[in-house]
């Protein structure tokens, strides 16, 4: 199965965005290149129900052999690919960086103009974790997730609307962790509610009679 088929068939793929400037650079030949960080280690993501960060050691055994640079994670708008030599990625003290030679195509030109005008200034990355590749804790009274072991990075993308998508994968991980047990479902029926309400009314009535 190809990497793209794996990605499409894998419901464990997650995406996160990174704050920080996406910038245009020029190669020696004068061609436009795009440089940015798809992940920063000093960032804490607000996932509404929990916060999240990436440990610096999370990429020790990560497969980064074939990463696509896409626009808005759209497979139809490919800007470069590490396997083809048109893009480069790496991990440094700041996080996951990428550089791509913008193609002479509508997608490449659209991204170049948008970045140049400041319309696009953030990036995102798509990945999967290994089993037990995260840990949960409580921090300042809120659930906090630390990504500790990334199995593979599929793509990095300059994005128009930076957003962290749904937390389905994170919720499954949290349930396995045992840190938080979801509340038991409410099995109270409508009849039960009416009976309890009637009991409450009777207690109030009897209390008034004693006054």
Domain annotation covers residue 57: yes
User: Residue 206: pLDDT band by 50, 70, 90 thresholds?
Assistant: low
Which pLDDT score is estimated for 167?
58
Domain annotation covers residue 189: no
Structural tokens at position 50: 């929990």
Which pLDDT score is estimated for 162?
74
User: Residue 194: pLDDT band by 50, 70, 90 thresholds?
Assistant: low
- Chain-centroid distance of CA 104 in Å reads 30
Is the model's pLDDT at 1 over the cut of 60? no
Contacts of 128 (CB under 8 A, 6+ apart): 10, 12, 13, 14, 150, 151, 152, 154
Structural tokens at position 96: 């996951």
d(CA 89, CA 66): 10
Domain annotation covers residue 55: yes
User: Residues 133, 135, 136, CA angle at the centre, nearest 5°?
Assistant: 150
Is the model's pLDDT at 3 over the cut of 80? no
Is the model's pLDDT at 207 over the cut of 80? no
Query: Which of 51-65, 153-167, 197-211 tops mean pLDDT?
Result: 51-65
Contact call for residues 12 and 6 (beta carbons, < 8 A): no
87-123 exposure pattern, b = at least 16 Cβ within 10 A, e = fewer: bbbebeeebbbbbbbbbeeebbeebbebbeeeebbbb
Domain annotation covers residue 129: yes
- For 158-181, write each residue's pLDDT tens digit: 999 876 655 577 777 878 777 764
Domain annotation covers residue 145: yes
Mean pLDDT of the chain: 84
Domain annotation covers residue 198: no
Domain annotation covers residue 172: yes
Residues of the domain holding 98 = 3-177
Domain annotation covers residue 12: yes
> Domains in the chain: how many in total?
1
Is the model's pLDDT at 4 over the cut of 60? no
d(CA 123, CA 34): 11
């Amino acid at each position: 199965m190809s990497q793209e088929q794996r990605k499409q068939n894998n419901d464990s793929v997650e995406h996160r965005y990174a704050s920080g400037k996406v910038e245009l650079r020029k190669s020696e030949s004068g061609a436009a290149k795009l440089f940015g960080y798809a992940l920063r280690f000093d960032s804490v993501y607000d996932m509404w129900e929990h916060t999240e960060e990436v440990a610096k050691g999370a990429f020790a055994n990560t497969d980064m052999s074939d990463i696509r640079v896409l626009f808005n994670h759209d497979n139809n708008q490919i800007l470069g690919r590490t396997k083809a030599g048109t893009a480069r990625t790496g991990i440094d003290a700041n996080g996951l960086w990428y550089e791509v030679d913008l193609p002479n195509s509508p997608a490449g030109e659209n991204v170049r103009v948008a970045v140049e005008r400041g319309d696009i200034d953030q990036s995102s990355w798509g990945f999967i974790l290994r089993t037990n590749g995260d840990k949960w804790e409580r921090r300042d009274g809120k659930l906090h997730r630390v990504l500790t072991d990334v199995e593979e990075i599929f793509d990095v993308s300059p994005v128009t609307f930076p957003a962290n998508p749904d937390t389905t994968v994170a919720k499954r991980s949290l349930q396995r962790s045992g840190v938080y047990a979801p509340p038991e479902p409410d099995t109270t029926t409508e009849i039960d509610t009416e009976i309890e309400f009637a009991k409450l009314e009777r207690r109030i009535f009897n209390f008034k009679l004693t006054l």
